[in-house]
Amino acid sequence: MGEFFALWNWAALLIVGLFRAFGRPQVYRGKIFGSIFAVIAVLLVAFFSYEILYSLRQVPASVGAPRVGQKAPDFFLLDQNGKPVGLGDLLSNSEGVVVIFYRGFW
């Protein structure tokens, strides 16, 4: 549902931009740049539509992933100091855990 709303927003912005570009060409350099930007916008919308509506539907569901409400299996990760920290250790000290992955410096 959200994908279709995003597509309608893109289409509405494209139409408004074209009317502005061709309506006042002396301000927006409309005849040439308006056409170029319209083609670029249409290509972006087509690519976005293809990725969201087709490509992402082809990704298979993860069989081994925990479901909503299911407890994650215990695992160990390195903290910012390089020491191993386990999920069980964190859960024993608090009610919940949020794990954030970031690329860091590597």
Query: pLDDT tens-digit profile of 3-21?
Result: 666 667 777 877 787 777 6
What pTM, to 2 d.p., does this model score? Answer: 0.42
- Cβ atoms of 81 and 87 closer than 8 Å: no
pLDDT at 35: 74
pLDDT at 46: 86
The model's pLDDT over 32-63, given as tens digits with 9 standing for 90+, comes to 777 777 788 888 888 888 888 888 788 887 78
Instruction: Report d(CA 25, CA 34) in Å as an integer.
Output: 9
Q: Name, in order, each residue with C-beta under 8 angstroms of 10's C-beta and a sequence gap of 6 or more.
A: 41, 44, 45, 48
Q: Name, in order, each residue with C-beta under 8 angstroms of 34's C-beta and a sequence gap of 6 or more.
A: 17, 18, 21, 22, 25, 28
The model's pLDDT over 68-102, given as tens digits with 9 standing for 90+, comes to 888 888 888 888 898 998 888 888 887 778 877 77
Q: What is the mean pLDDT of the chain?
A: 78
pLDDT at 106: 55
